[in-house]
Each structure stands twice: as C-alpha cells, then as structure tokens.
A and B are shown apart, each in its own frame.
Chain A
Amino acid sequence: MENKTSEQIKQQDQTVTINIDGQDYEVHKNLSLLEAARTVSIEIPSLCYLKEINEIGTCRVCVVEVEGSRNLQASCVYPVVDGLKVRTNTDRVLRARRTAVTLLLSNHHRECLTCIRNLNCELQNASDNLGIRNIPFTGEMQDYGFHDNNPAIQRDYNKCIGCRRCMAICNKIQECYVYSPLNRGLNTVIAPAFQKDLSEVSCIMCGQCVLACPTASLSEKEHINEVRRVLADPEKHVVVQTAPSIQVTLGEMFGMPIGSFVAGKMITALKRLGFDKVFATDMTADLTIIEEGSELMARVLHEPQKLPLLSSCCPGWVKYAEHFYPEFLPHLSTTKSPHEMCGALTKTWYAQKYDIDPAKIINVGIMPCTAKKYEAARPEMQSDGYRNVDYVLTTRELGRMIRQNGLDFVNLSDGKYDEPFDQYSGAGMIFGATGGVLEAAVRTAHKLITGDEMSVPDYEDARGQSGLKYGTVQLGDRKITIVIAHGTGNAKKALDMFKSGEKKFDYMEVMACPGGCVGGGGQPILGGRDHKHISLSYRHNRADALYNIDKESKIRRSHENQRVKQIYDEFLGEPLSDIADKYLHTSYVKRGQHPYMHKEKPYEGYKETD
C-alpha cells in the first residue's frame, strides 16, 4: 500500500496536466508543448524544429494560442507547466501558420516538379497540410545561387528556408562550425563564412546537414548520370560494391519498415540495373579488421608511443582529424577504409585473377555516406594509377535509380553477391553501426594477441546510441582502454580529454555520423511525411537490424572469413606486408581551418579513366 502511494507521488511529480483544445491531458513534464502534444496524438506542424538539436522557434509554423499570452507562442520551445491551456487549431492559429508557410513560399524557388526532394520535402508537406492554394504575395526573391564546387554536397541557397537545422547539427553534434547566418532580414543566408563553398572551409562532408535539411537546399551531389553512362558502355566492366549498412536501410526508400534487411533484393536490383558484378564491402571490412587489428597489436606490443590508435574507416572523421586535430594524424590507423580496399583490390588482385584490363574496370560504391564521394576523389586513393573507386552513389541515389528503372523493389527475389567479394563475417556487417568496428577489431585482436578465440564474442559495452563510451578489454594479460565515439563532437571531447590527461585510452573508434553508418549522411531521409522521426531516434532500429544479422551469422569473426585468407594467400602475403602496405594503407594531410586552410588542389570532378 505504502509503496503504491510513493509510486503515485512519483507519478504526480513527473507529470503535469495541461489542457489542449478543451481536453485535459496528463503529460510528462520537461517536455516542450509540441512534444507533449505529440504524445497525445496531436500533431503540430513545424519546419525548423529538430528534436534536441534545433529548438529555436524561428519558423513560427508550430504556433499555438496559449491562454494568458498576448501573442501566439511557438510550441516547440514552450515548456509545459501544470494548468497550461492551449488551443492548437483555432482560426487564428491556422491563419498564422498558413501565413508563415506562404511567406516562406513567396521567397522560395518553387521548382517542386524537378526538385531532388520532390515528394520528400517538409516544406511541400507543410504547404499541403495547411491547404495553401495561392500565394498572394509577390515580391523580391533572394538569389544567392548554387554552390557545388566539391565532390559531395551541393547547396542551393534559393531553396533555403533559414531554419538553421544544418547549422545546429554542424555546430552542436559535429562541432565543425561550418554554417552561420550571414546578413540580416530578408537577405539572411545560412552559409559558410563569406558564402564560401564547402570545399573551402573545414567541412568534413559528413552530410548530416543534408539529413537535417527540410528542403532541397542541401543535397548530395548526384552521380546517377555518370554511372548510367559507364553502365551503357559495353567496353567497361562495371562492378558495384555495397556498404554493410545499405542492406538495412535501402528498404525505407520503398516504404518498408525501418530496419528491414533487403540485401537479397538489393543485389537483384543492382544486377538488373546492369552492373557486371555485385560485391560486398563487408568482405573488405573483414580485411580492414585484419589490417587494423594487426596495427593495434603492433602498436600495443612495439610502439606504445603511437597509442591511442584511432580508427580510420570513416572518411568524415579522417577529414575532421585533418582539419582540427592534425597533431593526432600519426595516431590515425593507416588502414584504408573497406570501401577503398575493395576498390584497390578490384583494380589489382581481381583484375589479375580474372584477367581483366584494370583500365576497363569501373568500381562503383553504394555508400550510406556523402563523405565517401569525397574520399573516392582524394588523390591518395589510387592504385597503380587507377582510381580505387570511380563513383560513389548514396543509398538515396540508388533508391532513385531503382525507381527510375521501374523495378518493383519490394517484390524482387533475393540475389547473391558475386565472387570473390561475396563472403563476409558478422563482424564485417556491424561496421555499419557505431561501436561495430571496435567490436569486430577486438574479436580479432583477441585472437591475434592471445591466440585464443574470444569466448563470448558479443562485446556489449560497445553498443547502443550513447555518444561517447569508455570501456576496457582484457586481451590475455593485457588490458586496453577503448573509446567509442560517434558524432565528431564526441570525438573532440575524447581527444580534448586525452590531451589534458583527464582520460587516457589505447584505441578509439570514431564514426562521424551519430549512430554510425546507419545514420550516415547518404541514408534515406525520413521525416518528409512522418514528423515524429525528425530526430535521431530511428537510428537504433537500423543498428539493431545489423546486430541481429551478426548474431545469426555462422562466421562472426573477421579472421575466420575464408575469402580474407584467400586474398592473403594469393596476393597480399600477410597482414602489414609490403603489398598490403602499398594497396591497403594510405596517408593523411594537415588541412588547417578556415581562414588558415592549407592549399589544396581544387576538385576537378571524377577522373575518367579512359
């Protein structure tokens, strides 16, 4: 009895009663009005709001009438208090919302029919939901043009609605501080300093801003046409590689539930699109583990001054380190990312093995990532004079390509990856989620250092969506401290603590995107219709899917992958060998920060190999 009372008191403490549209609801306190209304199935439209990231109340689309308040209040920033009385759909409210969206539209280049975000645009939805049928205001429109002098991200300033979500995610989560508001009033534009292109500032090309953008003001640079051109060329041998996380996200493009595993359908689709071979990047992820695990072992045993080892498979994170932490570049693992390894091996080992002229091989990567587009264009990423990877398409672009070709994706039969990049371990799969690389590396390092298999291959501490995690791993008689960071802001925290001596560690995995590759900047954008997902919360569903597949796979350790053994036997010799060093390892450059950027060769587009 007593227990129940205290439980009741606790309950009372945590909730407040508010009145929405004449009805009382009990809602959790510490919520904004908008979130509280969502919990009771009242959807208040919004444009600038991004849960926990951008709560600034600027679009004024989420306004409501609050009793006792003279003006309408933005519900996304209005805290609920006991006894609050609000009206969410009076004429006054609806009119103000309509006016706000109409004003935005009056300053928006309305090219919906040809827009890259057509049918997946929050502004379009807001306009539709509010029933806007005409725009009575005509007048000056800002023309700030279009910037895309980089391989990954394009900025169409004329579609910017000034919501600042890009800026919030870049400043608060990634801590790259690329965007800021320039000018005032109608002339305000959210852009890098002096409206420079993203290639001229310390942008890491992670594409989180693209995910955050409610319109097509920020989008990936599309390379579908380039890929179609090589597919149509009979001279070319076009291979495609797919990153681990694509298999659990591509389905979302076709209305499948979040976390649907669609590897088989994807392979079939890719083959129907005309690719000659479909390879799994997961396999070279296993290879990365062998190389990086060996590096970790070598440093632990012989070069402790080069600890901590920092993972290097995320190109966004690599660029972040190059801009902001050049002093840590020697600590960065020299191992190439799985994606580039696959590229390097197709132009070398695969070409030799199958007797194909490497000049005719085109390697296309399907990646969850905009930074991969940038990585593929890095000058270091070539093998024997050939680009490792020629083109990178994001998950979204692949989805569009499949739609363009009229494939009924949901009902496709399952296909299989092509030899020799077909087998992969569960460890390779979980590369796609934060903590996955580290977990995979630990499974293998355990074997390399102790000679024994890790008895329980599940390393629980590394999972979940907390931004920065510390842990220790017992490798035989050695105990190493590990850190997992996702979101470069968290990596910054860890490195700053390392520098100040507050926290020491031996190995850190960094994924630039929150949640890892499943939350990558090239992944399907949710939220067009479904506002509830305008947050990062959906990411763990995708990650869970990867872990479940890992759990069910027969091979769960990278060093057990027979194909990996085969590559070492046939081509590389042993981990960290000279050949491995030549093709599977890379180097880094100090880049500096705006306005003290080191001179870089301007991007000139992908090099045509013919």
Chain B
Amino acid sequence: MELKNINSVEELSKIKDDTYNKIKIRFSEDNEDKILEKELKKYHILVCSGTGCVSSRGNMVRERLEKEIRKRKLEERVKVFKTGCFGFCKLGPIIMIHPDETFYIKVEPQDVDNILTNHIVKGERVEKLLYKSPTLNQFVENMNEIDFFNNQMRIALRNCGVINPEDITEYIAMDGYKALGDILTNKTPPKDIIDNVKKSGLRGRGGGGFSTGRKWEYALSYDGERKFVLCNADEGDPGAFMDRSILEGDPHSVIEAMIIAGYTINSNQGYVYVRAEYPIAVERLEIAIEQARKTGLLGNNILGSDFSFDLDLKLGAGAFVCGEETALIQSAMGLRGEPRPRPPFPAEVGLWEMPTLNNNVETFANIPIILRKGGDWYASIGTEKSKGTKVFALAGQINNTGLIEVPMGTSLRTIIYEIGGGIHDNKRFKAAQTGGPSGGCIPEELLDTKIDFESLSDIGSMMGSGGLIIMDETDCMLDISRFYLEFAQDESCGKCVPCSIGTKRILEILERISKGEGQMEDLEILEDLCYDVKDSSLCGLGQTAPNPILSTLKFFKDEYIAHIKEKTCPAGVCNNLLKVVISDEKCVSCGICARVCPVNAITGEQKKSPFHIHQDVCIKCCACIPKCPVDAIYKA
C-alpha cells in the first residue's frame, strides 16, 4: 500500500470516495451496487483479528484462506481482510462474507476448503458454520438477525468488524478524519468544539463518569510551556476488554480524537499509555500511527493547516492502579506508578508538571462521530444524565459472552436475557456484577434497573469501565467478594494506609469466614472497616475496593451468616466448608473416581461395594465429580 501525504480536505475526500467504492459491497444499504457485485461474484471475506479470535486460531484461518485463494486463482474476485472484534467472542473465530453478509462462527482452518468450494464457487452457504438460534432452533444466516446483535447500538465500536484496522484509507472511507479536516479547514474555535462535546453529554468512559466537555475546558484554561493529550489505554479490570477491542479494530478513531483534542486544548504532543499485555493493540496502534504520519495526519502542518501534532506510545507494565490518572502519569514518565492527591488535577499539573488532558480509549473513540454528527445527535441517545452508548464486556454464567454496546438506560434484564441469551444451563440467576473490582453485585430484584452512571451508583455498584459478570446459583457471593478483594489487595500500590493495610485486613476477615472460622462480630468489623477504607483512601482504587463486599453484605447477607453460623457454603463453593461424598445408592463401584483422585482419598472394591471418600484425606479438588459416569458424587 502506497501512502501519500494528504495536503487538504479535498485530497482527503478523494481518498474517501476512492476507497469507499472499493469496500462498498460490505454495506447492505447500497442495494443496487450489491446486486451488481453479486453478479460479478465478488467477495470480501472479513476475518476477525481481535485477540479473542486470534487466540482460537483465527489467524490460521485467514492464512489458509489467503493461501487457498491464491492456489485456486480467485484473487481477482475474492479478497480477505483483517477486521476488528465483532463482539461475539464466545463463538470465535468469526468470519464475515460480504456482500452476502454471511456470519460464520467457530471456523476452523480445515473449514476453509468447504467455504471456498461451496460458498464462493457454488454460492451455497455452509450450514454447519452458521449460528443456530437457541430460541428459534434454526440457523441464522444474517448477522443482523442474531439476538446478540439485535438490541445493540454500535457507536464506539462502529468500525469494529467493518473495516480493516491496518489500512488508514478504509477508516477514511468511513468518514474518518473528516471531523478533523473540517475543524482544521474552518479553523473552528476551540470553544465551539468544547461546546459541541459538552452538548453531547459525553462522560468519561473509564469509570469516573466526569463530563468530557468540562475536562477539555479545564485543560484549555491552563497555560503551560507544553501541554499534553494522554490516552488511558491501561485497561485493568478483570474481564473488561472494550478498550483493547477498539484499539485493535479501530485505532484511527482514537488517533483522530486525540489530534482534535490537541487542537482544542492547544497541545502538540500526545501519548497513548497502553499495557504491554495487549500486543495486538500495540501493533495496530504502531501501524496506525505510522500510516497517519505517512499521510501527514500526524506531524507538522496537518492537512495543510498550521497545526502540528504527534503521537507516541508509552507501554505500561500492567498495574491496575495505573488506570488511575495520576498514577498513570507517574508511570508514563517512567516513575513508580502511584497516585498522588488531587487537587491539583492533571488538567493543571500533569505529565512533566504540564497541563495534561487525559481521556479513556472509549471516550476518545466517541469523539469523531460526535463532532461529525453533532452533540445533539449523541445527546438524543441514552438517559437524562448519561448520554450515548456504553460498551460492556459480558461474561460469567451467561449463554452469549462477548462485547456489546448498548444505549445508556438499557435494562439489565434486556442485556442478560435478550442480548446475553439468558443464564447458562437454565440455572437460576443470582447476581450481576458491574464495574469489576470497584463495582458491586446487583440482585435479581433490581434486574429492571436502567443502566447509567447514577442508577448503578445508587444501588451500590458502579459503571466502572464496563465489566458485566453474571452469576448464578452455583456462585458463592462471599467467594466472589473474596476474589475481588484479593485482586484489589494485590494491586494496591502500597502508598496509603487504608488501602495497603486495610484491604489486606478485609481479605483476612473474608478468608476467615470462608473457612468457617468467622464470628458474627466479624461482620460488624468488616462493614465498619469497609466504610473507612472507602471513605479515606487516597485514590479510586482504595475508595472503591470495598464495594463488592458492601453490596454483597447488603443484598446477600444471609450467605455470610450461613458461612458463620451454619458453617456451610450454600452455593457449595468454599472448599473448607464442603464435603465431597459418594452416594451409596448411585455408586456402581466402577472405581474411576479412585483413579483420578490425586491424593488417594477414595477407596473401595471394584464391582463390589460402593466407593467411599475419606474426608480427612480429601483436598476437595472435586476432580472426581465430573468423572463419575452415574453422577453419584456430590458436594454436601
């Protein structure tokens, strides 16, 4: 691909038109063209190249496709592209064939032959690779007919799964860099840009939920020798991966937003602080920056204007606390990643003591489209105080796991039962956990809560970066709290007392209770300590770390009490409180369980008497349970 310097908006729109014509078979709106393309039998095969699908051998599928296409001399009419995450990660690797809009799931490298022979050459769909709707019990050919995508509204993820993230011209074809071009040509006053962002009602998507427009306004109001634009791509919540997906699927949207932010606050240098554990995102960002530099969209005199801006990457080592903006700034400067008290805020004293604007990836990804379509358009979506859409990472005991984007105000019920396809194995829903280690658990009676920043914090949880984990009757809420506390305790930077020592003490109390050694008064100490840690910690990590406990104490206190008083774990999770037993009636004396037991705790005579587990030897690894052919082993 040869990239030339783009010197004006006219040149930009020429590239847009040229490229759009090349990729328009991917869009169903242009029906006429589509039929034409079909007659010519041209195909675009988009292979998901997000981390999820790459891990399930999506790369091999793509390479095999390319190889076979060359071999069969189909290059002229079939083209293979990388694309960003579709979101339905559970069913990866995913490929999408345009113009038929066929959505193939769980594609293995050996399926390539089948796809090429049947779909491309014969024009027949490969049924076994199609998505089968569990509700209708039939194959669904088209992506838009799948429940999972039905209730979604993709704004931040608009280009993921649509364009090739490694080609800047495809981004330009989707009106990319148009917002920037307009601003630079019209010399839009920064105040107007800020007003537009303010009007959109966009709030920080990293978890804080602070008004983005106001943040930009503050950053503009402080003068400095140099000023910086910083992008927080240090996504640390366990289970959340929307920032990664945006960077992998649409890196230019973030770059464009950062250039605009630079123009607005009068900064000429930006940094993306991205974790080194995201190698694909880092690679795509590097490619994107390189291409933007080649086309003059980064560097001096962007699009022939007198505005200059450049961007560099800062790799983080993956400390959760570095998602906190002051800690992130420390880390980006090469220092130990630790927060400092605010005020002064980074908008005044940030990178190298200079005014710094810091926004999250998802926030930035929304900016170009807001400026293109107007703040009013964005503000028309969502609830009164939370506008637009939010990306959630859906995980846990739910049928459809993956990445979804829904308008603010969508109810949890819609997300779980319509998009998510309900609870796995038809088990009973117990709780939804939002906000990762900083959030809380939401019980069944609050399932109709319309999700936005306020409603979530009102019920003791928080939006966070958008992790959404669904738990069913087999999850122990005490164990869940313990897991999150362990995480927070492990990730505490060690600077302030309540967080570094407090989280450890909380964890110790939880561990005591989960072992059956708790006292009722522990609950009181626990609750008090949680409130104090929340109230007096230095940064967001400590201030939110007790949330999982406080919310489970509020909604699931009976489970805590069962652990303390009855010394049982109702969900059968806490190892120290459960016994693994073999039912004498069911046992067929096959002895398989005895063979898998790692500590030889199971004895019995084959084909004679029922087998028996010696409780003093058993380590409760439960390895025997799934091995039993007659389900005779159970937890008690």
A pairs with B? yes
Using a CB–CB cutoff of 8 Å, the interface residues on chain A facing chain B are 56-61, 63, 71-72, 74, 77-79, 92, 95-96, 99-100, 103-104, 106-107, 136-140, 161-162, 180-181, 183-188
Q: Mark B256-282, 1 if CB is under 8 A from A, else 0.
A: 000000000000000000000000000
Answer whether residue B495 sits at the interface, using C-beta atoms and an 8 A cutoff: yes
Cα A186 to Cα B338 with chains together (Å): 14
Chain A binder among B373-381, B502-510, B591-599 = B502-510
Cα A96 to Cα B543 with chains together (Å): 13
Chain A binder among B121-129, B185-193, B419-427, B528-536 = B528-536
Answer whether residue B500 sits at the interface, using C-beta atoms and an 8 A cutoff: yes
Residues of chain B with a CB closer than 8 A to A59's CB: 496-497
Q: Mark B503-537, 1 if CB is under 8 A from A, else 0.
A: 11100110000000000000001001100111111
Cα A136 to Cα B495 with chains together (Å): 22
Residue of chain B at shortest CB distance from A55: B341
Residues of chain B with a CB closer than 8 A to A96's CB: 498, 532, 535-536
Closest Cβ of chain B: how far from A457's Cβ, in Å? 45
Q: Which 8 residue pairs spanning A and B have beta carbons closest together? A: A188-B494, A99-B532, A139-B508, A185-B492, A103-B501, A57-B341, A96-B536, A137-B505
Contacts beyond the supplied A95-B528, A96-B498, A137-B509: 14 A-B pairs with Cβ under 8 Å = A58-B538, A60-B496, A71-B537, A74-B341, A74-B538, A79-B343, A99-B532, A99-B536, A137-B525, A139-B504, A162-B495, A162-B500, A181-B338, A184-B319
- A185 with B532: CB separation less than 8 A: no
How many residues of chain B get a CB closer than 8 Å to chain A's CBs? Answer: 35
Cα A162 to Cα B504 with chains together (Å): 15
Residues of chain A with a CB closer than 8 A to B79's CB: none
A/B pair count, beta carbons within 8 Å: 112
- A63 with B536: CB separation less than 8 A: yes
- A58 with B496: CB separation less than 8 A: yes
- B489 with A185: CB separation less than 8 A: yes
- B341 with A77: CB separation less than 8 A: yes
Closest Cβ of chain B: how far from A76's Cβ, in Å? 9
Residues of chain A with a CB closer than 8 A to B537's CB: 60, 71
Cα A430 to Cα B379 with chains together (Å): 73
Given the interface contacts A57-B341, A60-B496, A181-B494, does A72 sit within 8 Å of B525 by beta carbon?
Answer: no
- Which secondary structure dominates where chain B touches chain A? helix
Cα A57 to Cα B339 with chains together (Å): 11
Residue of chain B at shortest CB distance from A96: B536
- Which secondary structure dominates where chain A touches chain B? loop
Residues of chain A with a CB closer than 8 A to B340's CB: 56-57
Cα A170 to Cα B277 with chains together (Å): 35
Answer whether residue B18 sits at the interface, using C-beta atoms and an 8 A cutoff: no
Cα A61 to Cα B343 with chains together (Å): 18
- B493 with A103: CB separation less than 8 A: no
Cα A78 to Cα B503 with chains together (Å): 25
Cα A187 to Cα B495 with chains together (Å): 11
Answer whether residue B473 sits at the interface, using C-beta atoms and an 8 A cutoff: no
- A162 with B494: CB separation less than 8 A: yes
Given the interface contacts A96-B536, A185-B489, does A140 sit within 8 Å of B508 by beta carbon?
Answer: yes
* Neighbour of A99 across the interface among B491, B504, B529, CB < 8 A: B529
Residues of chain A with a CB closer than 8 A to B505's CB: 103, 106, 137, 139
Q: Could you pull out 24 A-B pairs where Cβ atoms are within 8 angstroms?
A: A57-B340, A58-B497, A59-B497, A60-B496, A77-B341, A78-B341, A96-B532, A96-B535, A100-B497, A103-B497, A103-B498, A103-B501, A103-B502, A137-B525, A139-B504, A162-B497, A181-B336, A181-B338, A184-B492, A185-B490, A185-B494, A185-B503, A186-B492, A186-B501
Closest Cβ of chain A: how far from B432's Cβ, in Å? 24
Closest Cβ of chain B: how far from A567's Cβ, in Å? 54
Residues of chain B with a CB closer than 8 A to A186's CB: 489, 492, 494, 500-501, 504
Residue of chain A at shortest CB distance from B503: A185
Residues of chain B with a CB closer than 8 A to A56's CB: 340-341, 495
Q: Mark B533-570, 1 if CB is under 8 A from A, else 0.
A: 11111100001000000000000000000000000000
Closest Cβ of chain B: how far from A157's Cβ, in Å? 14
- B498 with A100: CB separation less than 8 A: yes
Closest Cβ of chain A: how far from B428's Cβ, in Å? 35
Residue of chain A at shortest CB distance from B522: A136
Cα A72 to Cα B533 with chains together (Å): 10
Closest Cβ of chain A: how far from B503's Cβ, in Å? 7
Closest Cβ of chain A: how far from B460's Cβ, in Å? 14
* Neighbour of B500 across the interface among A63, A78, A180, A188, CB < 8 A: A188
Residues of chain A with a CB closer than 8 A to B496's CB: 57-60
Interface centre among A74, A95, A139, A161 (most CB of B within 10 A): A139
- B494 with A72: CB separation less than 8 A: no
Residue of chain A at shortest CB distance from B499: A185
Given the interface contacts A56-B341, A99-B529, does A185 sit within 8 Å of B497 by beta carbon?
Answer: no
- B501 with A106: CB separation less than 8 A: yes
Closest Cβ of chain A: how far from B222's Cβ, in Å? 16
Cα A186 to Cα B498 with chains together (Å): 10
Cα A382 to Cα B509 with chains together (Å): 59
Residues of chain B with a CB closer than 8 A to A77's CB: 341
- A71 with B535: CB separation less than 8 A: yes
- A137 with B494: CB separation less than 8 A: no
Residues of chain B with a CB closer than 8 A to A60's CB: 496-498, 536-538
Interface centre among A77, A99, A100 (most CB of B within 10 A): A99
Closest Cβ of chain B: how far from A103's Cβ, in Å? 4
- B536 with A72: CB separation less than 8 A: yes
